[in-house]
């Protein structure tokens, strides 16, 4: 039962409004799912301090791109040279306070009188130096310029002269553009990338004063190419670890080559490429983070494949995991992304603003763009006010939006190789399987109001991960022996881990191990192959009937002996004193047979170890994915309870209040910034936001490093200052109202 006092103590309330009203009645009883979603705790979490503040950076020593705070682009069409008012275009971006603009070169169609063979002039160019005029207009307004190129497609005359440039199907036929079959897809392993692209770059460098070069459409960002040309047919099969290695070598060889060309004219120039794909990015993100000067997150808006509202935030967490504070921008499309696309029509303003909100909150730089038509700014001009107003709002607060480091104490291991290469339990490689797993753990963490980071699988060195009280491994199936040792050392040094399903069952080459790579540290042993669901999924039996003495991961479960399991599970050998055991799956129809032939087993449904400062939890089922597919409140509560147990419920930042929010907490040069993104909307996991459902008071508690004192707390969206209290190291203040987004900018003395 959830009474009034318990409800008011709820620190992570994510509860439907009707349930919230019912909860205020002392006699009311919430359903098990509503209690789980509310994530009720009868105590506040333990606050722990973040690391000591970083040494200040001299801005004069930073690369110029680190000072870019707003990026603009009007994506140019072939028709623009005939109709575009260049001065009006430049005035718009300048008035919006853009620091830099993308201007098309391009590679498919030349926007200047190019002499490079096969760099076709647009039919409306008529010898005009359209690109040069745009560069001059931007320079006159002190805006920097990115030379935007597109090397992914070309025309039949280039194909006739260079048939080796084309991507090929298995039957040897040319791969053509799906939307315009006049264009063929170019192969990244061919001389097209070695000769044609550098020729354009050098021509542009010889004629214009640009700040850097960018390639759109290359490399692939969410999957690996599948080409069967003469070169690629000699490579390992696409989608295998060996192919991914060859793909990465080629990407980084070309990247370094293009970067060197960019620097031939100006040493502070650089090359960067189309990126994004969040956890499923094509190039190896560990290598990329060491090389890239600018991470271009081509993550423009929600689509049919990624309906969750937090897609941009997820991308920002990926960037933070690999860039070590280097520059990242996320491309927010003002146009209508989605299952049905209107490329020249504005999307809902609330949706566009939320994508910009998430960009800022997750530590990236906002980048806003549209595609021109008629006069270059579009027939549908509603997008302009949204972008200009937003950019102008951010400008006075740049210091608070420029992040230094996250102060979360939970890390979610990001298995990029698992995302790209792991086939799933049924061996039929599915792009959706790990996507569902990622969304499940992400959703659960948001509903528990946990502050967390992503941690790349290739960045598990002790210096990086020692900051985290716990690491979560949501079915990170592929782990090398070295990565397993790093995780084991982390646990032995006092860190905690929660892992699931096939974590560590494969090495980096996708070779199956006889037993889990983390078997010793998790206290588990494999007892067979994965078991799926036939009718009813398996259940987890609560072994201790005495509710008063049950394990903390079972807090809140009453009046039941069973909890739902997951869709798939790995059978384990028995362990001592299991908290939950497996009730094997059975049919759900006909109902006459819907009972367990084997109601009690000694097969563990969770394995928990508590050793000194370290705690580990392993779920043999794909619990995160099963939660995402079902939304079952029991699975959510079990995940929340387990995360609280392994972390000892320690948090650096705690936000108490109603609503479904995402939290980011950053150290900044002035002090700290706590970002609250309000997702309390029926549109949070479908379509676009139609309107905002504002939230009431949110109480923020945070422990500060020793000797740090707060000067002020400013609410940037509300445009007001918040009253605060600081007792010793503990800071507390209340945000009275959160519309779509609020930023508490904390300035310290």
pLDDT at res. 544: 83
Residue 38 pLDDT more than 70?
A: no
pLDDT of 357: 98
How far apart, in whole angstroms, are the C-alpha atoms of residue 709 and residue 748? 6
Q: What is the DSSP string of 691-736?
A: S---B--EEEEEEPPTT--EEEEEETTTTEEPPEEEETTEEEEEE-
Mean pLDDT of 32-54: 67
Mention every residue, 6+ apart, whose C-beta is less than 8 A from residue 7: 13, 20, 23, 24, 38, 40
Query: Which pLDDT score, from 0 to 100, does residue 13 have?
Result: 35
Q: Given phi > 0 = left and psi -120 to 50 = alpha, else beta, which region is 21?
A: alpha
Kindly provide the residue ranges of all beta strands, DSSP E only, lying in 59-165, ordered along the sequence. Answer: 71-75, 100-104, 144-149, 153-154
What is the rounded CA–CA span in Å between residue 353 and residue 681?
Answer: 15
Cα(404)–Cα(53) distance, integer angstroms? 10
* The pLDDT of residue 741 is above 90: yes
Closest CA to 42 of 638, 644, 663: 644
Residue 107 confidence (pLDDT): 94
What's the CA gap between 38 and 647, in Å, rounded?
Answer: 19
**Between the CA atoms of 235, 195, 172 and 417, what dihedral angle is there, to the nearest 10 degrees?**
40
* 111 contacts 158 by C-beta, under 8 angstroms: no
Q: Please give the pLDDT value at position 31.
A: 46
Query: What tokens appear for 70 in the block?
Result: 């707003």
Task: State yes or no: cis peptide before 236, omega within 30 of 0.
Answer: no
Residue 472 has a pLDDT of 98
* Whole-number pLDDT of residue 545: 74
pLDDT band for position 546 (cuts 50, 70, 90)? confident
3-state secondary structure 2-59: CCHHHHHCCCCCCCCHHHHHHHCCCCCCCCHHHHHHHCCCCCCCEECCCCCCCCCCCH
Query: What's the pLDDT at 338?
Result: 79
pLDDT higher than 80, residue 394: yes
- The residue among 716, 727, 617 whose CA lies nearest residue 670 is 716
Q: How far apart are CA 165 and CA 510, in angstroms?
A: 31
Distance CA 402, CA 360 (A): 9
Beta bridge partners of 370: 74
* pLDDT at res. 375: 59
Tell me how far apart the alpha carbons of residues 110 and 120 are, in angstroms, rounded to a whole number: 6
Q: What is the mean pLDDT of the chain?
A: 92
Pick from 51, 9, 38: which is nearest to 469 by CA?
Answer: 51
- The pLDDT assigned to 94 comes to 97
Kindly report the length of the chain: 749
**3-class SS of residue 640:** helix
Percent of the chain residues past pLDDT 90, beyond the cut: 85
Lowest mean pLDDT among 7-11, 56-60, 744-748: 7-11
Q: b/e string for 323-362 if b means 16 or more Cβ within 10 A?
A: beebbbbbbbbbbbbbeeeeebbbbbbbbbbbbbbbbbbb
Structure token pair of residue 717: 């969206």
Could you give the C-alpha distances from 547 to 38, 174, 544, 554, 635, in angstroms and in order? 20, 66, 7, 9, 19
Q: What is the pLDDT of residue 372?
A: 66
Q: Tell me, what's the pLDDT at 428? A: 56
- DSSP alpha helix (H) spans, 189-339: 191, 197-207, 241-262, 285-291, 311-322
pLDDT range class, residue 43, cuts 50, 70, 90: low
pLDDT tops 50 at residue 417? yes
pLDDT of residue 719: 98
Mean pLDDT (whole number) for 737-749: 98
Position 6 scores a pLDDT of: 34
pLDDT value at residue 427: 60
Mean pLDDT of 726-735: 97
Average of pLDDT values for 204-229? 95
Pick the closest to residue 659 from 686, 696, 632 (CA basis). Answer: 696
Q: State the average pLDDT over residues 178-202.
A: 97
Give residue 33's pLDDT: 40
pLDDT at 475 over 80: yes
pLDDT in tens, 582-598: 999 999 999 999 999 99
Q: What domains, with CATH codes, occur in the chain?
A: 65-153+189-401 (3.20.20.80), 408-651 (3.40.50.880)
Per-residue pLDDT at 4 exceeds 60: no
Residue 34 has pLDDT above 50, yes or no: no
Whole-number pLDDT of residue 374: 56
339, 307 in Cβ contact below 8 A? no
**Which whole number is the average pLDDT over 680-693?**
89
Please check the confidence at residue 614 and state whether its pLDDT lies above 60. Answer: yes
- HSE at residue 460, side-chain half, CA atoms within 13 A, is 24
Q: Is the pLDDT of residue 27 over 50?
A: no
Read off the pLDDT band of 564 (50, 70, 90): very high
The overall pTM is greater than 0.95? no
Running DSSP on this structure, what letter comes out for residue 174?
Answer: B
Model confidence at 373, pLDDT cuts 50, 70, 90, reads low
Residue 20: predicted pLDDT: 35
Distances (CA, A) of 291 to 264, 286, 448, 678: 18, 9, 35, 35
Q: How confident is the model over 410-424, as a mean pLDDT? A: 95
pLDDT of residue 314: 97
Inform me whether the pLDDT recorded for 292 exceeds 90. yes
More confident residue, 80 or 687: 80
* Segment 265-282, tens digit of pLDDT: 999 999 999 999 999 999
CB neighbour list of residue 317: distance below 8 Å, 6 or more residues apart: 362, 452, 453, 454
């Amino acid at each position: 039962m959830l009474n009034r006092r318990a409800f008011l103590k709820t620190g992570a309330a994510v509860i439907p409004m009707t349930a919230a009203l019912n909860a205020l009645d002392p006699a009311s009883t919430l359903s098990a799912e509503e209690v789980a979603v509310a994530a009720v705790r009868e105590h506040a979490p333990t606050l722990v301090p973040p690391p000591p503040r970083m040494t200040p950076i001299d801005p004069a020593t930073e690369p110029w791109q680190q000072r870019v705070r707003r990026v603009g682009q009007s994506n140019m069409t072939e028709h623009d040279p005939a109709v575009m008012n260049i001065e009006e275009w430049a005035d718009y971006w300048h008035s919006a306070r853009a620091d830099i603009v993308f201007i098309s070169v391009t590679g498919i169609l030349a926007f200047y009188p190019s002499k490079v063979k096969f760099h076709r002039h647009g039919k409306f160019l008529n010898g005009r130096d359209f690109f040069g005029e745009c560069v001059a207009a931007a320079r006159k307004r002190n805006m920097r310029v990115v030379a935007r190129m597109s090397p992914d497609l070309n025309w039949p005359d280039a194909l006739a002269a260079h048939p080796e440039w084309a991507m090929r199907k298995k039957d040897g036929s040319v791969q053509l553009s799906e939307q315009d079959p006049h264009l063929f897809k170019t192969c990244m392993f061919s001389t097209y990338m070695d000769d044609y692209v550098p020729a354009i770059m050098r021509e542009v460098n010889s004629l214009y004063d640009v700040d850097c070069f960018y390639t759109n459409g290359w490399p692939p960002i969410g999957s690996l190419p599948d080409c069967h040309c003469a070169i690629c047919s000699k490579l390992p099969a696409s989608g295998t670890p060996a192919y991914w290695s060859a793909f990465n070598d080629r990407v980084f060889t070309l990247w370094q080559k293009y970067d060197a060309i960019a620097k031939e004219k100006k040493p502070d120039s650089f090359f960067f490429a189309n990126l994004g794909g969040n956890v499923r990015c094509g190039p190896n993100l560990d290598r990329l983070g060491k090389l890239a000067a600018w991470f271009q997150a081509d993550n423009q808006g929600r689509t049919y494949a990624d309906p969750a509202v937090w897609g941009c935030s997820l991308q920002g967490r990926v960037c933070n995991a690999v860039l070590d504070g280097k520059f990242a921008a996320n491309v927010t499309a003002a146009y209508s992304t989605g299952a049905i696309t209107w490329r020249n029509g504005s999307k809902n303003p609330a949706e566009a603003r939320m994508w910009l909100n998430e960009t800022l909150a997750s530590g990236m730089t906002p980048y806003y763009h549209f595609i021109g038509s008629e006069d270059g700014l579009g027939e549908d001009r509603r997008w302009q006010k949204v972008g200009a107003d937003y950019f102008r709002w951010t400008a006075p607060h740049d210091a608070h939006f420029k992040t230094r480091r996250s102060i979360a104490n939970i890390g979610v291991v990001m298995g990029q190789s698992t995302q790209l290469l792991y086939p799933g339990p049924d061996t039929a490689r599915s792009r959706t399987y790990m996507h569902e797993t990622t969304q499940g753990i992400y959703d659960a963490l948001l509903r528990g109001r946990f502050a967390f980071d992503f941690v790349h699988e290739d960045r598990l060195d002790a210096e990086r991960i020692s900051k985290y009280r716990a690491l979560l491994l949501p079915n990170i199936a592929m782990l090398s022996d070295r990565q397993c040792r790093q995780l084991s050392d982390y646990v032995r040094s006092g860190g905690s881990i929660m892992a699931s399903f096939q974590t560590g069952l494969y090495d980096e080459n996708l070779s199956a191990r006889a037993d889990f790579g983390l078997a010793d540290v998790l206290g588990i042993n494999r007892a067979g192959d994965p078991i799926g669901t036939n009718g009813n999924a398996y259940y987890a039996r609560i072994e201790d009937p005495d509710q008063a003495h049950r394990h903390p991961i079972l807090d809140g479960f009453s009046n039941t002996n069973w909890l739902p399991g997951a869709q798939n599970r790995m059978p384990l050998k028995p362990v001592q004193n299991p908290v939950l055991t497996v009730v094997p799956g059975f049919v759900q129809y006909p109902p006459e047979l819907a009972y367990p032939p084997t109601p009690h087993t000694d097969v563990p449904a969770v394995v928990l170890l508590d050793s000194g400062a370290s705690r580990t939890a392993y779920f043999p089922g794909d619990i995160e994915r099963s939660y995402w597919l079902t939304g079952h409140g029991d699975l959510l509560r079990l995940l929340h309870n387990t995360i609280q147990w392994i972390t000892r419920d320690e948090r650096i930042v705690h936000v108490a209040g109603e609503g479904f929010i995402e939290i980011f907490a950053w150290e900044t040069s002035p002090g700290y910034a706590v970002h609250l993104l309000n997702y309390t909307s029926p549109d949070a996991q479908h379509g676009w936001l139609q309107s905002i459902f504002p939230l009431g008071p949110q109480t923020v508690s945070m422990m500060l490093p020793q000797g740090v004192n707060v000067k002020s707390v400013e609410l940037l969206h509300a445009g007001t200052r918040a009253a605060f209290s600081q007792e010793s190291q503990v800071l507390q203040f209340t945000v009275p109202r959160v519309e779509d987004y609020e930023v508490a900018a904390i300035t310290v003395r």
